[in-house]
Structures are given as C-alpha cells and as structure tokens.
Amino acid sequence: MTPHWTGKRSIGCCLHAVLFTSLMATTMVVQAGEVSVFMASAAVGGERLQLNGSGSRYKSMFRVCDVALYTRSPVSNEQALHALPGAKRLHLVAVRDIRSNELVHLLVRAAIELATADQAPVRAADMAQIANRLAQPLQVQRGDSVGFDYVPGRGTQLWFNGDPLGPPLADPALFPMLLGPWVGPQAADAPLKHALLGQTRYLVQPAAAARR
C-alpha cells in the first residue's frame, strides 16, 4: 500500500486557485475512428529516442487524450523504465477540448495522489510550478500537444505545442513521480499503461505527430 503523506492537502490548497480560475467551456469529443499518430522517434536533449509505446486515455468511456512514451531503448516494465539512463519523453495529444483545471488534475493532482511519503514533501514547490504553468493555456484544444521531457543534468521540461513552459525543473526524481499515474503500480488506466510499456499492440498508430 502506498504510504499516505498528510502534506498532500497543503499542495492541494496551493493548486486550488489554479483549478478554479480557468475558463468554463463545453468539451468536444472527436468522432469515432479519429486517432492521433506519433513519430516513430523523437529528438530530446541531443538523443534520438524511440517510441516505446502509445495508447489512449479514457475517462467515463470518453477518450481524453492519446499518449506516447519515448525512451532510448525498449522497456516493458516500470522498473526498467526508471533504471534506463538517458532522456525520456511523455507526449500527450488532446482528442477533445480540455479545460486547464482538468489538465492540472490529469497531470499533477493524479501524481500527487499516488506520491509516496518520501516523494511529495520535497517536490511540493515543483508540482505547484507545473500546475501554474499548465494554467497558462486556459484551454487545450483538440490536436494540441503537451508533454514532459527529461534530460539528465537538466531536469524535466514541460512544453505546450513545441514551446517550453518555463525553465526545466532540476530535480531528477520529479519525472518518475509525474509518470506514476501513467505507468506506476496504481496507474489510472491499466490498458494504457500496458500499451506505453510496449506490453500490448499500439492503440495509436506510430507515425507523424501533430504539432511536435
């Protein structure tokens, strides 16, 4: 069982303003059969990474975003992923309009909820920064890309449609924490986790990606 950290509530308070200052907008679901496609490789931090796996994130039976994981070499489990040296990328493409409060929940709050007692306290400030940066685009539109790049010696870089959102966050343990909701033991979507780790066939075709 994941240890509970009582300070999670304090991070939640820091994010509260972000979650409720975004624009209210009607979401739009893409039609059946529309899929995002990803490049088979990506250049990150001077390295050429390979598409390890990709899939779709569902919520209440609706597809929210398509997701791809890029690594230096293939991995098939979380332990191998974290042990693998070199750069890594988590790339999301929205398949419907997403309000910024929903995006913060998807990328930040979910990671905080799964954080262990030794992870969350020391990374509270970084998580609050990420939440504030994600609020800059008040709404992510269908086809927009958002992601995290990890480069050894530089840290984790958040980006939106190819443009960096602020400087890199240096803590090397931040990226594994952000990956928790996607590939961790308590991942929110088990089929997507298996797809990202290359355990199942791609749910999204590995080809050219939009805007990144």
CATH of residue 79's domain is: 3.50.70.10
Q: How many domains does the chain have?
A: 1
> Is residue 155 included in any domain, yes or no?
yes
**Band of the pLDDT at 35, cuts 50, 70, 90?**
low
Q: Which tokens hold the place of 126?
A: 């970084």
> Is residue 8 included in any domain, yes or no?
no
> Is residue 212 included in any domain, yes or no?
no
Q: Between 196 and 4, where is the model more confident? A: 196
What is the residue range of 111's domain? Answer: 36-196
Q: How far apart are CA 180 and CA 208, in angstroms?
A: 26
Q: The pTM is what?
A: 0.79
Task: Provide the mean pLDDT of the chain.
Answer: 80
Location of structure tokens 């790339």: 91
> Is residue 164 included in any domain, yes or no?
yes
Q: Between 207 and 161, where is the model more confident? A: 161
> Is residue 210 included in any domain, yes or no?
no
> Is residue 205 included in any domain, yes or no?
no
Q: What is the DSSP pairing of strand 41-44 with strand 47-59?
A: antiparallel
Q: What is the DSSP pairing of strand 163-164 with strand 155-160?
A: antiparallel
